[in-house]
């Protein structure tokens, strides 16, 4: 009984914090599907990641706020005509995604060979046979609370994004992934440094202080 009360109290506390979160209110006001849009916005404003004309891949896109933000940036261009964007965004997720204007969505697990091929073909079509300017990954595994198991899941998710970036990024492209501080974090940073000339951690203000969530940015692929 006490355990049930404790859980209910936790849920009520989370709901109270969520409803009073300024980024939640801002997202509702500005039409974003999640407060996560402001994490990307802050990093983009600091690092100038998103520019008109780019081809962008959004891994783990649902519910779509990162794709929404990127779409708005690509629409803000003199070359964007008839309400279309200047560039291309390809989003993928295991979960369904309510359509985002001008965003090509693939539902499926890109660890699956058929889904991965579909993603590759869509990227090639969008880029005119070229490569990608920016890979975004807000993917996160289901966490169990068991530190070693969770660290392995997080590392695996980051590895998947890294492998995709290695194969499909332009030499001057960038990869931004969500990660978590804790066991395995230093190994993930090392892998980024093995692949990119510039590697930087980012903790935007929109990322809650109590969360171990952080982001790793890699820029400019090292040549093999």
> Both 82 and 115 in a single domain?
yes
Report which of 117, 88, 87, 100 is spatially closest to residue 34, judged by C-alpha positions.
100
> Both 102 and 87 in a single domain?
yes
> Both 16 and 76 in a single domain?
no
Where residue 130 sits, what CATH number does that domain have?
3.40.50.150
> Both 61 and 87 in a single domain?
yes
> Both 7 and 67 in a single domain?
no
More confident residue, 6 or 62: 62
Residue 192 has a pLDDT of 97
More confident residue, 5 or 70: 70
- What confidence tier does 102 reach under pLDDT thresholds 50, 70, 90? very high
Catalytic residue among 25, 178, 203, 205: 178
Residue 111 has a pLDDT of 86
**Which of 21-30, 42-51, 69-78, 183-192 reaches the highest mean pLDDT?**
42-51
- What confidence tier does 10 reach under pLDDT thresholds 50, 70, 90? very low
> Both 8 and 95 in a single domain?
no
> Both 84 and 146 in a single domain?
yes
Domain count along the chain:
2
| Average pLDDT of the chain to the nearest whole number | 88
Euclidean distance between CA atoms 160 and 1, whole angstroms: 42
CA distances (Å), origin 109, targets 97, 160, 217: 14, 11, 23
- What confidence tier does 183 reach under pLDDT thresholds 50, 70, 90? confident
> Both 75 and 181 in a single domain?
yes
Tell me the sheet residues that pair with 91.
58, 105
Other C-beta atoms closer than 10 Å to the C-beta of 104 total 17
> Both 1 and 93 in a single domain?
no
Euclidean distance between CA atoms 54 and 49, whole angstroms: 10
- pLDDT tens, position by position, 79-90: 877 778 999 999
pTM of the model: 0.88
* Structural domain that includes position 14: 1-30
> Both 41 and 120 in a single domain?
yes
> Both 26 and 115 in a single domain?
no
Tokens 């969770």 sit on residue: 150
Q: Does 161 have pLDDT greater than 90?
A: yes
> Both 26 and 38 in a single domain?
no
Report which of 141, 134, 183 is spatially closest to residue 158, judged by C-alpha positions.
141
Mean pLDDT computed over 137-148: 75
The answer to whether 3 is a known catalytic residue is no
Euclidean distance between CA atoms 171 and 94, whole angstroms: 28
């Amino acid at each position: 009984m006490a355990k049930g009360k404790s859980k209910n109290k936790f849920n009520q506390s989370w709901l109270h914090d969520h409803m009073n979160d300024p980024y939640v209110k801002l997202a509702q006001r500005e039409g974003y599907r999640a407060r996560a849009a402001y994490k990307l916005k802050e990093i983009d404003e600091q690092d100038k990641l998103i520019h008109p004309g780019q081809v962008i891949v959004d891994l783990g896109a649902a519910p779509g706020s990162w794709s929404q933000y990127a779409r708005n940036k690509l629409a803000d261009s003199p070359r964007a005509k008839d309400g279309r964007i200047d560039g291309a965004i390809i989003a993928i997720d295991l979960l369904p995604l309510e359509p985002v204007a001008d965003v090509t969505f693939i539902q499926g697990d890109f660890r699956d060979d058929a889904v991965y091929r579909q993603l590759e073909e869509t990227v090639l079509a969008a880029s005119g046979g070229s490569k990608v300017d920016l890979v975004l990954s807000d993917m996160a595994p289901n966490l169990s609370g068991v530190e070693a198991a969770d660290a392995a899941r997080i590392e695996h998710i980051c590895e998947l994004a890294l492998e995709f970036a290695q194969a499909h990024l332009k030499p001057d492209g960038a990869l931004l992934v969500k990660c978590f501080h804790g066991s395995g974090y230093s190994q993930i940073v090392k892998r980024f440094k093995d692949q990119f000339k510039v590697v930087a951690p980012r903790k935007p203000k929109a990322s809650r202080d109590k969360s171990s969530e952080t982001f790793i940015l890699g820029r400019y692929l090292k040549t093999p």
